[in-house]
Amino acid sequence: MEFSALQPTIQWLHTPQSTHDCPPGLEYLSQINQLLVCQRFDLWKDLSHFEHNKIYEVMNNQRQRIYFAEEKCNCFLRHLCGSSRPFTMTIYDTIGRDVITIHKALSCGCWNNCFLQKLKIEAPPGETIGYVYQCFHPFWPKFKIKNEKKEDVMEIRGPCVISSCLKDLNFNLLSIDEERVIGNISSSDKFGIQFPFDLDVKIKALMLGASFLIQSLLADAFPP
């Protein structure tokens, strides 16, 4: 990715000091409890080498840029398969390092009490930190957040009614016993992600990955 072409429109967040127990590049996430994810249509249109890729900015609540995210997907599959498409998303930090890679396989479209869509998330690239699984539920959208051993650690549950007439949609992050609301992913003109300051940075990264999956599903359900 050529960062010389990505002239900043807002301030980058200062690079924090690395720690031995944190995957490189995720140090940013240890300092915050909120993220904003916004698609950059101007870059997508204006830069010829990004013609078939979707570009996103990931910011903190002060609108300081933390990451750029680039979705790489075959243009034909994007139009043919919609949210079921396979893709690889690379997330870059302020100095252009690949810090997170998200892999999504082509969805099989099975609805019989099984997992529907799945993300594998690596940080740094090549080292799996966990998965996000979409689960079948008759009443509301439901996702499982799993660690690198595919053990359930948290759950995301969406609203019972999803309608294009609703301006804001909230997906709650629940404890594994479903008793506590720990954070949420909200959808309006931007995606907002909220979580506790002290939440493990790997789970914060998995929530960021989940927001991209939810975003693709909603975009397919409510095309412009």
Q: What is the DSSP string of the chain?
A: --GGG---SSPBPPPPPP-TTS-TT-GGGGG-SEEEEEE-HHHHHH-GGGTT-EEEEEE-TT--EEEEEEEE--HHHHHHHGGG--EEEEEE-TT--EEEEEEEPPP----SSSEEEEEEEESSTTSEEEEEEEE--SSS-EEEEEETT--EEEEEE--S---TT-S-EEEEEEETTS--EEEEEEESSSEEEE--TTS-HHHHHHHHHHHHHHHHHHHHHS--
CA distances from 171 to 50, 155, 168, 176, 210 (A): 30, 10, 10, 15, 10
Q: Mean pLDDT in the chain?
A: 80
> What pLDDT, on the 0 to 100 scale, is given for residue 5?
47
Top mean-pLDDT range of 21-25, 43-47, 65-69, 145-149: 145-149
Determine the straight-line distance between the first and last CA of the chain, rounded to whole angstroms: 28
Give the chain's domains with CATH numbers: 3-221 (2.40.160.200)
> What pLDDT, on the 0 to 100 scale, is given for residue 46?
46
Q: How confident is the model at residue 50 (pLDDT cuts 50, 70, 90)?
A: very low
Summarize the confidence of residues 49-72 as an average pLDDT.
83
What lies within 8 Å, CB to CB, of 85 at 6+ separation is 73, 74, 77, 78, 104, 106, 216
> What pLDDT, on the 0 to 100 scale, is given for residue 79?
60
Whether residue 172 is predicted with pLDDT greater than 50 in this model: the reply is: yes
Whether residue 207 is predicted with pLDDT greater than 80 in this model: the reply is: yes
As a whole number of angstroms, the distance between CA 130 and CA 5 comes to 32
Q: How confident is the model at residue 108 (pLDDT cuts 50, 70, 90)?
A: low
pTM of the model: 0.83
> What pLDDT, on the 0 to 100 scale, is given for residue 127?
96
**pLDDT of 135-152, one tens digit each?**
987 778 899 999 999 999
Q: Which residue has the higher pLDDT, 111 or 129?
A: 129
